[in-house]
Amino acid sequence: MSAISAQEVKRLRDVTGAGFMDAKRALTENEGNFEASSDWLRQKGLASSGKRSGRQNAEGAVALVRSGDAAALVELKSETDFVAKSPDFVDMANQLAQLVADKGEAVLADKADAIDDLKVTLKENIELGRVVRIEAAAGNVLDTYLHMQNERGKNGVVVELSGGSQDLAHDVAVHIAFARPQYLSRHEVPDSEVEPERRLIEAQAREQGKPEQAMAKIIEGRLTGWFKERCLLEQAFVKDEKQRVQQVLGDATVARFAQVEIGR
């Protein structure tokens, strides 16, 4: 029998949802016969992963890896907590994060088949979620934080500081993990988010019968509170709520930060 071609394997995978190695083995066992190979996969219980692709996968694991001046966050998504904390699943997430930290995000294309095979093995809709890589600029400080729960990472943060210490970068990373800022400062919040909130605040103030002469001040005051919930520099620091993050930073500045959390 002639060698099994990559095109034949792909066709069988597309139809059955089986992993690469399972599809290739099926074709080999059945001398390249497509229908017989499809039946073989169904009999072995290996042709069902395609049916899982539409199922919700709000669980998973976050892996965080440092490599030199770079750090990577990778989210691997699953349907259940049980699968998310399994050794094979956690190991795959860690492998992916290591690859991204070492070589960049593009290398993950080479792991598509491995993720498909894991989907078949663990019988869930498993897929790659968010991927972030930050490499510190020369002279900058990089630090991370990973919150573990049920034997796998659930909330990972990477922070790059300019002009700050390693300890300060770590404290900021911990703060981000729990305060969950969406933006660095209010200047980064798009008008498409600010203006609807401004209109809502004004409508609420008028509904409450606030005086017209005080309306502008009321709107700006409430909008400032809204920014404090979303913007890192304006948030109350989790280790000392009397200070804002901007005050804790002193002369240091946050160059970049990223957070990946399961379920958000």
Is the same domain home to 106 and 135? yes
Q: Is residue 54 included in any domain, yes or no?
A: no
> Which pLDDT value is given to residue 44?
67
Is position 52 within any domain? no
pLDDT reported for residue 2: 65
Nearest to 232, CA basis, from 255, 209, 263? 255
User: Is residue 106 situated within a structural domain?
Assistant: yes
Tell me, yes or no, whether 20 lies in a domain: yes
- Min mean pLDDT across 2-6, 170-174, 200-204, 257-261 is at 2-6
Model confidence pLDDT, tens digit, residues 77-133: 999 899 999 999 999 999 999 999 999 998 888 888 888 888 878 888 888 999 999
Report the pLDDT value the prediction gives residue 93, as an integer from 0 to 100.
96
On whether residue 127 sits in a domain, the answer given is yes
**120 plus 149 within the same structural domain:** yes
**pTM for the structure as a whole:** 0.78
DSSP assignments along 47-78, one per residue:
S-HHHHTTS---EEEEEEEEETTEEEEEEEEE
Give every CB contact of residue 215 below 8 A, 6+ residues apart in sequence: 202, 205, 206
Is the same domain home to 67 and 84?
Answer: yes
**Which distant-in-sequence residues (6+ apart) come within 8 Å of 13 by Cβ?**
19, 20, 23, 116
CATH number for the domain including 43? Answer: 1.10.8.10
pLDDT in tens, 228-254: 999 999 999 999 999 999 999 999 999
226 and 238 housed in the same domain: no
CATH value at residue 207: 1.10.286
Q: What is the pLDDT of residue 51?
A: 52
For residues 20 and 149, membership in a common domain is answered with: no
**Comparing 5-9, 139-143, 208-212, which segment has the lowest mean pLDDT?**
5-9
Partners of 132 in the β-ladder: 73
- φ, ψ of residue 54 in degrees (nearest 5): -90, 0
Residues 162, 177 within the same domain? yes
Say if residue 73 is in the same domain as residue 36: no
What is the pLDDT, as a whole number, of residue 160? 98
Q: Is 165 a member of any domain?
A: yes
167 shares a domain with 40: no
Domain tally for the chain? 3
Percent of the chain with pLDDT over 70: 94
- 223 and 237 both lie in a single domain: no
Q: What is the mean pLDDT of residues 169-180?
A: 97
125 and 174 both lie in a single domain = yes
Confidence at residue 174, expressed as pLDDT on a 0 to 100 scale: 97
Q: Report the DSSP pairing between strands 141-149 and 127-135.
A: unpaired
Residues 166 and 256 in one domain: yes
- 20-64 pLDDT, tens per residue? 788 888 888 888 888 888 778 777 666 555 555 556 778 999 999
pLDDT at residue 181, rounded to an integer: 97
95 is in which domain, residue-wise? 59-185+233-261
Query: Mean of the per-residue pLDDT values for the chain?
Result: 89
Confidence grade of residue 187 (pLDDT, cut at 50, 70, 90): very high
Least confident window among 15-24, 49-58, 64-73, 219-228: 49-58
Q: For residue 1, is it within any domain? A: no
pLDDT of residue 100: 96
Report yes or no on 194 lying in a domain. yes
243 with 116, same domain: the answer is yes
Q: Name the H helices within 30-181.
A: 34-43, 49-52, 81-84, 87-103, 112-122, 166-179
Helix, strand or coil for residue 143? strand
Average pLDDT over residues 203-215: 89
